[in-house]
């Protein structure tokens, strides 16, 4: 597979972020760039690198790089909205987690379910800004049509979904970040009256702890061993 052609300003920015070691040698990049949304994620995520980025609009990726370098996850995948939507991002990420951290079967089921719910929430409600009631066949058709429309226009198509993992001694923490306007997790008693939020409540029930970042764009989930 050919690596994506990354612009020189990006490589310069990356080099500045990585800096140099004690002997003055430039530090090796831990990044691996995904060529396109059509790239097969499975072999890519089995590579020894721990941070993976789909090439895309530089400005959005620059913001994500700053976030990831600050939080220092053990494993991260960042994709454009379209790439995340079309690549089964949550499934492949959970398979890679299982391989890297040897998760127990019952935890793996919980993790993949939580990832699927939170990644879909990040794509549809976060980055694409789509909310509404979808209880009939006609409304579901309109829902998927709206997704395809939003994926073709700015600013939606170049926003990013980022999934990170931290492997601690007795638990695994995951985060899913979008670049939308933020969200909340509805209380249980409110779920019947809202067009969204039930998936996030499922996440609460399957994880050992769930919380949001201050800007309400990142959901964190903890799974105890």
Provide the pLDDT for residue 26: 43
Among 41-55, 125-139, 184-198, the range of highest mean pLDDT:
41-55
Instruction: Judge if the upstream peptide bond of residue 155 is cis by omega within 30 degrees of 0.
Output: yes
DSSP secondary structure string for all residues of the chain:
-PPP---HHHHHHHHHHH-B-TTSPBPPP-EEEE--TTS-HHHHHTSS-SEEEE---HHHHHHHHHHHHHH--SEEEEEEHHHHHHTTHHHHHHHHHHHHH---HHHHHHHHHHHHHHHHIIIIIIIS-------SHHHHHHHHHHHHHHTTSTTGGG-EEEEEEEE-SSEEEEEEE--SS------GGGGGG-SS-HHHHHHHHHSSEEEE-TTS-EEEEEEE-
**Domain-wise residue ranges, the chain:** 8-224
Q: For 194-215, how does the pLDDT look when each residue is reduced to its tens digit (9 = 90+)?
A: 444 567 889 999 999 999 999 9
Provide the pLDDT for residue 3: 39
Percent of the chain with pLDDT over 90: 39
Question: Does 132 score more than 50 pLDDT?
Answer: yes
Provide the pLDDT for residue 47: 85
Percent of the chain with pLDDT over 70: 76
Question: Does 4 score more than 70 pLDDT?
Answer: no
Q: How much is the average pLDDT of 91-104?
A: 87
Of the pLDDT bands very low, low, confident and very high (cuts 50, 70, 90), residue 71 is: confident
The CATH T-level fold of domain 8-224 is Heat Shock Protein 90 (3.30.565)
Q: How much is the average pLDDT of 99-127?
A: 89
DSSP secondary structure string for all residues of 128-185:
S-------SHHHHHHHHHHHHHHTTSTTGGG-EEEEEEEE-SSEEEEEEE--SS----
Q: What is the pTM of this model?
A: 0.82
Q: How much is the average pLDDT of 145-167?
A: 92
Question: Looking at 80-89, 94-103, 178-187, 205-214, which range is the least confident one?
Answer: 178-187
Q: How much is the average pLDDT of 44-48?
A: 86
Provide the pLDDT for residue 126: 93
What does the alpha-carbon distance between residue 56 and residue 167 come to, in Å, rounded to a whole number?
28
Q: How much is the average pLDDT of 74-84?
A: 93
């Amino acid at each position: 597979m050919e690596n994506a052609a990354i612009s020189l300003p990006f490589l310069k920015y990356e080099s500045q972020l990585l800096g140099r070691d004690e002997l003055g040698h430039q530090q090796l990049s831990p990044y691996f760039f995904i060529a396109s949304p059509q790239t097969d994620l499975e072999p890519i995520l089995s590579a020894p690198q721990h941070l993976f980025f789909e090439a895309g609009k530089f400005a959005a990726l620059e913001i994500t790089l700053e976030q990831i370098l600050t939080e220092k996850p053990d494993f991260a995948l960042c994709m454009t909205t379209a790439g995340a939507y079309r690549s089964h991002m949550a499934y492949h990420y959970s398979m890679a987690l299982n391989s890297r951290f040897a998760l127990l079967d019952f935890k793996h089921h919980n993790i993949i379910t939580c990832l699927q719910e939170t990644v879909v929430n990040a794509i549809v409600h976060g980055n694409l800004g789509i909310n509404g009631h979808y209880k009939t066949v006609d409304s579901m058709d309109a829902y998927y049509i709206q997704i395809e429309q939003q994926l073709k226009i700015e600013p939606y198509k170049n926003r990013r979904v980022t999934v990170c993992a931290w492997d601690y001694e007795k638990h695994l923490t995951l985060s899913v970040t979008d670049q939308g306007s933020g969200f909340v997790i509805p209380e249980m008693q409110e779920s019947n009256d809202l067009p969204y939020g039930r998936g996030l409540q499922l996440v609460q029930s399957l994880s050992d702890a769930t919380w949001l970042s201050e800007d309400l764009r990142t959901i964190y989930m903890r799974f105890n061993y």
